[in-house]
Amino acid sequence: MMQKVLCLCLLLIGTSYAAITCNRRSQIIKSLNVRRNASSSSTPLQVGNGNFAFGADVTGLQTFAPFAIMSTWGWHNFSLPTTARQTLPDDFTGLDWWTHGKLVNYDMPNPAENDISNWLIKNPQRLNLARTGFTFSDANVTEANLQQKTQELDLWSGKISSSFVYNGSSVAVETVADPASDTVAISVESKLFQDGMGIFFDFPYSDLNKFDAPFVGVWNATSNHSTKLTTIDSHSTEIKHTLDENSYYVTINWETPGAMSGPTDGTHRYHFHSKSSRVRMTISFSLEASKKSKELKFIDVKTSSASWWKSYWCKGAFIDLSAAAAFNTSAAELQRRTILSQYLVAVNEASSNPPQESGLVNNGWYGKFHLEMSLWHLAQFARWNHFDLLERSIPSIYERLLPSGIARAKGQGYNGARWGKMTDPTGRSAPGEINALLIWQQPHPMYFAELEYRADPGRTTLAKWDAILTESANFMASFAWWNSTTAVYDLGPPMYPVSENTSPNVTVNPTFELAYWRFGLDIAVHWKQRQGQTAPKLWTRVLENLAPLPIVDGAYAVYEGIPNMWTSNDTTNDHPAMTGIYGLLPPPSTGPPINLTIVQNTAEKVKKLWALEDSYGWDFSMLALNSLRLGNIDQAIAYLIDPIFQFDDAGYPEGGSRVPTPYMPDAASLLLAMAMMAGGWDEAEGAHFPPDWPVEVDGFSPAM
């Protein structure tokens, strides 16, 4: 015990726990404002509120780069197929697979139902709501024709300031988003309005691309959709955009004299012109037509944006690495990534649904969210003390999806609720072999619930989560299969583990899923006990008799019986999820204790043998969490700034070889790792930075 205490004291020498004032936070944050002199080819600068985001090129609008305007609610369905017996979603029947001696129906593409299977995979798609930019008196202006281009994203107030010179005249633009509505507001000052400069509004059709990046939508399919302009009064218009059976409305209000016209023949492009040298307008998006309530003005949005962002930055937890950054490049880069990631998750992740993998920047997997990734996206809000943002979607998404989860489990012969994977807002899971057989999303509600209970350990929290945890645990206990030969409960087959790269019919007892099953059932049992109730006996029986974690060559394996675990490139790639059992997860509170020698051996083998160049970025955060618990702070930092784990100039995590940029779980997972570095964990509380780094932390509690 003396050795452990001494070690912890050494770690804390360079760390201060005094409150970091709002003024000090402002200085650090503003020093990391993003500045550009040209548009990026892959990422915009964004303003937004979690449910709505506007992506700008270097002009402050979307003049030359058609970045997206995206929302939580903006979706489109293509027309259903007309093939006989494949005309409705309910016509889809999936496939039956043998599962422990019986046929079980799974939501997998059925070759006999190809059309409806594909429709369900590709629908709905998240919409790019519109594009807006400048038009000039000369038709063929490019970004290269602009001079003195400068742009700055003020992180403290959520404002983009852009300026440029064209034909000797300056243009100054401010772009902000309303925290409480789907509204972007712009202010433009330039004499060029008097020479014919205007602002255009254009509308794309949706497409069927699995990945739509860096730009979203089809701009040359004008006959497939329609727009209609309605004049409300001399200072406002409304445009209705209809794509097949889906419609939404864009209300544009301007403050100085001007007029809207259009569309240009053969397009869905509208034009605003004014002779004023300053144009201010708000652009609001909605599923409903304007009710002409109180109009938002630019200054209203600018003021409310500044107020919201100040509150966000001042109320949450904070890490000040600036003193260490003065002499250490790793500290400087971690400070940059941490601040920019906090901005980006608030803009892209704090929504009423779990976010998709690319947030509100572009589309991946048709814009649908992946329920197994919700933990990586959203747990950081709890760890940084932004529970109000977490509560926008958690636990409400589980409440909404509970009926479909129960129906899915019942249809397969299980109790409880089986959570889907690639999901649309209605709870419909897209057909797919991996989608149907993945299971590591199942204990997520227990993880989220425990995060909340640690912050608010009362009856309200217990009651809020009880039904969700009960049905989650009922499925977990029902899914575990009693193996009479080995006298343990097995997980699988068929199933896919976290890595998704093994044969599902031979995958059994994967390390991470076993550990996570044990964690989840243990939380569920304690949840009942905290309420003075007795947990179902099956929960306890499964918890106490789960198969042991599989070991190969002194290290944890992907799954039990995997061939060539540490000797084949086929097995040492994708997610090294075995490391998550001691890092992301705490050591088990019941049952067999975790073997730290094997955990350490696993970490060393992964570092030496794993093909991290083919991994997803959040793997580096998972490895950092593992390294921190093992006491290897330097290795944790090395993982978080690994050359493969890249963040661009605006803080967007690059997709690497696997997915387009941005891949938002990377930013959110980095924040999860930094929170553990700042707050420690149970039995090792306090910051865990290198002892020679002068660091200030504020507002963190220990991780589990």
Q: What angle do CA 364, 72, 269 make, to 5 degrees?
A: 80
The pLDDT tens digits for 451-488 are 999 999 999 999 999 999 999 999 999 999 999 999 99
| pTM for the structure as a whole | 0.96
Report the CATH number at residue 491: 1.50.10.10
Residue 290 pLDDT grade (very low, low, confident, very high; cuts 50, 70, 90): confident
Question: 600 in a domain, yes or no?
Answer: no
Tell me: do 281 and 403 sit in the same domain. Answer: no
Q: What is the distance in angstroms between the CA of the first residue and the CA of the last residue of the chain?
A: 20
Question: 357 in a domain, yes or no?
Answer: no
Q: Are 121 and 434 in contact (CB under 8 A)?
A: no
Tell me: do 159 and 254 sit in the same domain. Answer: yes
Tell me: do 301 and 399 sit in the same domain. Answer: no
Strand partners for 364? 211
- Single-letter residue type at 633: I
Q: Are 49 and 350 in contact (CB under 8 A)?
A: yes
Report the CATH number at residue 46: 2.70.98.50
**Domain end: 555, 571, 599, which one?**
555
Peptide bond into 586 cis (omega under 30): no
Q: From CA 72, how far away is CA 30, in angstroms rounded?
A: 29
Which of 316, 306, 312, 318 minimizes the C-alpha distance to 28? 318
Residue 138 pLDDT grade (very low, low, confident, very high; cuts 50, 70, 90): confident
**Domain end: 555, 586, 613, which one?**
555
Q: From CA 49, how far away is CA 694, in angstroms rounded?
A: 33
The pLDDT tens digits for 5-63 are 323 333 444 687 779 999 999 999 999 999 999 999 999 999 999 999 999 999 999 99
Q: Are 699 and 387 in contact (CB under 8 A)?
A: no
Per-residue confidence (pLDDT) for residue 17, from 0 to 100: 75
Tell me: do 289 and 435 sit in the same domain. Answer: no
Tell me: do 142 and 281 sit in the same domain. Answer: yes
Considering its fold, how many domains does the chain have in total? 2
Per-residue confidence (pLDDT) for residue 497, from 0 to 100: 98
Q: From CA 415, how far away is CA 433, in angstroms rounded?
A: 21
Q: Are 356 and 663 in contact (CB under 8 A)?
A: no
Tell me which residue range forms the domain holding 494: 395-555
- How many C-beta atoms lie closer than 10 Å to residue 657's C-beta? 9
Question: 609 in a domain, yes or no?
Answer: no
Question: 97 in a domain, yes or no?
Answer: no
What's the token pair of residue 134? Answer: 């400048």
The pLDDT tens digits for 390-424 are 999 999 999 999 999 999 999 999 999 999 999 88
Question: 611 in a domain, yes or no?
Answer: no
Question: 446 in a domain, yes or no?
Answer: yes
Tell me: do 170 and 57 sit in the same domain. Answer: yes
Does the pLDDT value for residue 512 go beyond 60?
A: yes
Question: 525 in a domain, yes or no?
Answer: yes
Give the long-range contacts of residues 603-611, CB within 8 A, separation 24 or more.
603/579, 603/627, 603/630, 603/632, 604/555, 605/553, 605/555, 605/566, 606/572, 606/576, 606/578, 606/579, 607/635, 609/566, 609/572, 610/572, 610/573, 610/576, 611/569, 611/572, 611/573
Positive or negative, the CA dihedral 322, 324, 327, 328 is: negative
Q: At what angle do helices 596-609 and 618-629 cross, to 10 degrees?
A: 140
Tell me: do 135 and 262 sit in the same domain. Answer: yes
- How many C-beta atoms lie closer than 10 Å to residue 459's C-beta? 9
Residue 213 pLDDT grade (very low, low, confident, very high; cuts 50, 70, 90): very high
What's the token pair of residue 427? Answer: 């709870």
**Domain end: 311, 336, 358, which one?**
311
Question: 370 in a domain, yes or no?
Answer: no
Question: Mean pLDDT of all residues in the chain?
Answer: 96
Pairing of strands 147-154, 34-36: antiparallel
